[in-house]
Structure 1
Amino acid sequence: MNTPGGWGPPPPGGPGPGVPPQLPSQVCVRHPNRPTALACTRCDRPACPECLRPAAVGQHCVDCVRAGQRDVRPVRTIAGATTRGTFVPYATYVLIAASVIVFAITAAQSSDVMNNQSPSRLFADWALWPRGIAQGEFYRIIGSGFLHFGPIHLAVNMLALYIIGRDVEHILGRSRYVAVYVTALLGGAAGALALQDSLSVTAGASGAIYGLFGAQAIILIRLRQSPGPIFVLIAINVIISVSIPGISLWGHMGGLAAGTAATAGLLFVPGWLGNTGGPSSSSARLIGWGSIAAVAVFALVVIALRTLQLRSEFGYS
């Protein structure tokens, strides 16, 4: 029914014909050209849908979301490493990939997958050969840790690294994990050079992997969990090292001792020295890194002293 003058009420849902809709009088704080009727429920600033995120109550602008994330303290492991929702052990994958690539090169050079060490030039240059160390070829200490005698040796070591390495990397964090791995590698080289025959040739990641076995045992002890399974695994591997000829027992033992000592220093020494700031405090980090460095330096000193003996033994001036 029309009112006098022929005008009626506007139809439900909007203005009448020919009347433009009312635009919001406020604009997004991040996009001044976008009118909006929405606002952040935390700071009350106007924001367009693109700049808002769902929240427990209402919706927050991206600036408030970012500020809230900075205020939240990250969850850390017993070693002070930051934990994430989905952890990817990149360092372990890189170590595995490096060993596989080096093996592929030695197999291609020797034209024999099963007997890749001869006549591969890379294998001859990188293997832990005492006479080469006596001549100053110290790159063999690290390079030998990426060489392997045949595909079975490679597969066994890489499987062990994949299984143990992921867990240790997650707890220690990527940088500390790599530091412990390298320290164990140095310890294995020191053990092989100091206690094996001076004419022997050693290669493989076993020393570093034994170091990760020791690291895993220390982690379990620090978490107050039973280290029994890893102790059994270590015992089985030691028996294998003793029983099968040609396996570098002292290289394994050197790596085990270095990895165990480095991880124990990282996880226990800060507390023994009275650190009360937690594993992520600057003092704990300094003490932990210092402990790893001390073990690495000790291994290097053993290597240096043994090098002097080898130079005398082989008649080098």
Structure 2
Amino acid sequence: MNPQPPAPTCYRHPDRVTGLGCTRCGRPACPECLRSAAVGQHCVDCVRQAEGQVRPVRTVAGAVAPTRPTPVVTYALIALNVAVFALTAAQAGSLLDNDLSPIFRDWTLIPPLVGHGEWLRVLTAGFLHFGPVHLLINMFALYVLGRDTETVLGRTRYVAVYLVSLLGGSAAALALAPVLSSTAGASGAIYGLFGAMTVILLRLRQSPVQMLVLIAINLFISVSLPGISLWGHLGGLAAGTAATAGILFAPQWLQARSPESARAIGWAAVAAVAVVTLVVIVAAGVQRAL
């Protein structure tokens, strides 16, 4: 009489007898090591291998699309702006007159001071705000625009577009605003997000009319109300629009042959906008120092 073959045991738990098996690799496995699949059941190793072979879903900008997008960068930028405002208000001892604080005095964009070597003002001025109303308006706009822009562009590109827009607003204010003007606020960066969202809508083949109307209304307000930096708004709008167009359209225009080359072209376009912005800042700063 032939001996009875041994009962199969789980490939991960040799001490467990099982009559089940993976429908993908055929190895015997206990219920703990199996997962339901579209056809039959797969072992945990096959499930892990299949997950590693799934290509990530990417947005039109080439960023990996998160399954549950959380605008972490937008929230961080809002928190940073609020923290800086709270610090200036504490130093000044007033919410309304927070511009009297030492930080405000040292960070705001004043063209002659930038020209005499205080170049960091072109960046720090973008995190200052004149009073709580100015802060609330800008942070609400950042919250509304930033969430979708960050999701489409991805966090790294979003940060790049935001900073390039901020510098673009500072460059225009430095070059074209009155010499003794004092410019502060995140408006330049936020206008850059207006431009970025318009480009995103065009790339997605959706109507940008509502966004264009919103931009026009805000520019009209900038012209109508005194004390608002129109040039800073226009500079941020131009820089943000150009940088985002470089990310979303330049790879098509240059006929990129792979996702990697498309991403490289997009980054090169953002870098080009940043270089132009910095050249304008240096040239304007030197001119204002004379």
TM-score w.r.t. the length of structure 1 is: 0.86
- 1:57 maps to 39
The verdict on how the C-alpha distance between 1:27 and 1:107 changes in structure 2, with shifts beyond 3 A counting, is farther
Cα distance in 1, alignment partners of residues 12 and 206 from structure 2: 51
Structure with larger Rg:
1
Cα drift, residue 31 of structure 1: 4.0
4+ residue segments displaced more than 6 Å: none
Pick the aligned partner of 1:140 from 103, 121, 125. Answer: 121
Q: Give the Å deviation of 1:33.
A: 4.9
1:285 aligned onto 2:263: yes
- Cα deviation, 1:177-232, whole Å, max 9, x if unaligned, reads 11011100110000000000111111110000000000111111111110000001
Once the two structures are overlaid, the 10-residue window that deviates more, 52-61 or 99-108, is: 52-61
The secondary structure found in structure 2 opposite 1:117 is: helix
Secondary structure, aligned partner of 1:197: coil
- How far the C-alpha of 1:70 sits from its partner, in A, is 2.2
Q: Which residue of 1 aligns with 2:3?
A: none
Match of 1:122 in 2: 103
Identity of aligned residues (%): 62
Q: Indicate the larger mover: 133-142 or 193-202.
A: 133-142
Structure having the larger proportion of residues in helix: 2
What does residue range 151-166 of structure 1 map to in structure 2 within 5 Å? 151-166=132-147
Distance 1:47 1:130 in 2: 73
Asked whether the equivalents of residues 113 and 289 of structure 2 are also in contact (C-alpha less than 8 Å), the reply is: no
What are the ranges of 5 or more consecutive residues in structure 2 without an aligned counterpart? 1-5
Residue 100 in structure 1 maps to residue 43 in structure 2: no
Q: What is aligned with 2:155?
A: 174
Question: Aligned letter for 1:101?
Answer: A
Q: Summarize deviations over 1:213-269 as a string: whole Å, max 9, x none.
A: 001111111111100000011001000000000000000000000000111111111
2:42 aligns to what SS in structure 1? strand
3-state SS in 2 of match to 1:30: coil
- Write the mapping of 1:69-108 to structure 2, written as runs, cut at 5 A: 69-108=51-90
**Which consecutive unaligned segments of at least 5 residues does structure 1 have?**
1-23, 313-317
Calculate the aligned-residue CA RMSD, in Å.
1.5
Q: Distance in 2 between matches of 1:107 and 1:308?
A: 32
Distance 1:107 1:249 in 2: 25
The TM-score normalised by the length of structure 2 is 0.94
Equivalent-residue separation in structure 1 for 2:99 and 2:14 (angstroms): 68
Aligned length: 285
Question: Partner amino acid for 1:296?
Answer: A
